[in-house]
């Protein structure tokens, strides 16, 4: 069965610092992996996705993630944090490897950005 573990329910960084949000997955099939962002009182917005092409995936707002099969990881990074990045971030894995909507989500990591 597929699952996702996000390490750290809350991450705090200073503005301009590196953002690193960790995600490890478990999947019985080649995984499709996703990162979503949720701003307060809003729905989820797709940041980026890995669907078995390039292992380094670039997304919106300067975020990127690297698929590492040997480590079963899909960590999200951004070189320089902005105040506007403060939000909750969810890592997700596709249940059946081909569907991009039937997803198992992690519990989320709340990112705070200090001025």
Partner 1 sequence: EAGVVQSPRYKIIEKKQPVAFWCNPISGHNTLYWYLQNLGQGPELLIRYENEEAVDDSQLPKDRFSAERLKGVDSTLKIQPAELGDSAVYLCASSLNSGNTIYFGEGSWLTVV
Spell out the residues 6+ positions from residue 106 whose beta carbon is closer than 8 angstroms to its own.
4, 5, 6, 23, 90, 91, 92
Residue 74, interface with partner 1 (CB under 8 A)?
Answer: no
Angle at 70 between CA 67 and CA 73, to 5 degrees: 40
Among 26, 52, 61, 102, binds partner 1 (CB under 8 A): 102
Q: How far apart are CA 56 and CA 48, in angstroms?
A: 10
Q: Which residue's CB is nearer to partner 1, number 62 or number 108?
A: 108
In angstroms, give the least distance from the CB of 75 to partner 1. Answer: 17
Residue 50, interface with partner 1 (CB under 8 A)?
Answer: no
Residues that bind partner 1 (CB under 8 A): 4, 9, 36, 41-46, 49, 90, 92, 98-103, 105-108
């Amino acid at each position: 069965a597929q699952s996702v573990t996000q390490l750290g329910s809350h991450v705090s960084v200073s503005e301009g610092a590196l953002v690193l949000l960790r995600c490890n997955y478990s999947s019985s099939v080649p995984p499709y992996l996703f990162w979503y962002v949720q701003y307060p009182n809003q729905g989820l917005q797709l940041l980026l996705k890995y669907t078995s092409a390039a292992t380094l995936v670039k997304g919106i707002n300067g975020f990127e993630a690297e698929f590492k099969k040997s480590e079963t990881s899909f960590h999200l990074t951004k070189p320089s944090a902005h105040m506007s990045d403060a939000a909750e971030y969810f890592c997700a894995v596709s249940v059946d490897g081909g569907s991009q909507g039937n997803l198992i989500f992690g519990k989320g990591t709340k990112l705070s950005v200090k001025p």
